[in-house]
Amino acid sequence: MKITVQTLVQAPIARVWQAYTTPQDIVQWNAASDDWHTTQASVDLREGGSFSSRMEAKDGSFGFDFAGTYTRVVPHELIAYSFGDRTAQVEFVPGAEGHAGVTVRVTFDAETLHPVEQQREGWQAILNNFARHVHAH
């Protein structure tokens, strides 16, 4: 089963792309709630390149690495990747002529451990943080 989340980011596509793919930006927005943060990120943005984000509870009680391999990269349009036995893709869709902003749409394979709605809410929260980060910078 696939889950899709999306947000509209009011910024030029080049800025949106940069914020999504630059480690210095990723560590500022990649968290689903205020009690979590990303302490480090690495990006080798090319097909076959790898990525990793270290996500930790701010109280130090838990942490994990979210890591995978890029399977397709189309600058300013698409990032597809695999992580474990799952896949995801991120689409960057500029607004129609005369409309500002970029829709960032993430579609990912659901996992079986957590309820679908919880997974959707978590990924949506991260995307909402991303939009706020881009707007603030």
**Which pLDDT score, from 0 to 100, does residue 98 have?**
64
Count up the domains in the chain and report the number.
1
The amino acid occupying position 32 is A
**Which pLDDT score, from 0 to 100, does residue 21 have?**
98
**Which pLDDT score, from 0 to 100, does residue 78 have?**
98
Q: Rounded to two decimals, what is the model's pTM?
A: 0.93
Q: Is 45 domain-assigned?
A: no
Residue located via tokens 């990793």: 52
DSSP letter string, 77-129: TEEEEEETTEEEEEEEEEPSTT---EEEEEEEE--SSS-HHHHHHHHHHHHHH
Q: Is 20 domain-assigned?
A: yes
How open is the CA angle 7-9-12, to the nearest 5 degrees? Answer: 145
Mean pLDDT calculated for residue range 108-114: 95
**Which pLDDT score, from 0 to 100, does residue 100 have?**
77
Residue located via tokens 């996500």: 55
Strands 86-94 and 78-83: antiparallel
CA nearest neighbour of 52 among 23, 25, 19: 23
Percent of the chain with pLDDT over 70: 98
Q: Kindly report, residue by residue over 3-27, the tens digit of the pLDDT.
A: 999 999 999 999 999 999 999 999 9
106, 120 contact by CB (below 8 A): no
Q: Is 50 domain-assigned?
A: no
Q: Is 80 domain-assigned?
A: yes
**Which pLDDT score, from 0 to 100, does residue 72 have?**
98
**Which pLDDT score, from 0 to 100, does residue 137 have?**
81
Q: Is 19 domain-assigned?
A: yes
Q: Is 102 domain-assigned?
A: yes
Residue 45: pLDDT above 90?
yes
Give whole-number Cα distances, 125 to 25, 46, 49, 71, 99, in Å: 16, 26, 26, 24, 24
Q: Is 26 domain-assigned?
A: yes
**What CATH number corresponds to the domain at position 99?**
3.30.530.20
Q: Is 130 domain-assigned?
A: yes
With residue 71 as reference, give the H or E element that holds it: strand 63-74
Domain span holding position 105: 2-33+75-136
The amino acid occupying position 101 is G
Q: Kindly report, residue by residue over 69-98, the tens digit of the pLDDT.
A: 999 999 999 999 999 999 999 999 998 766
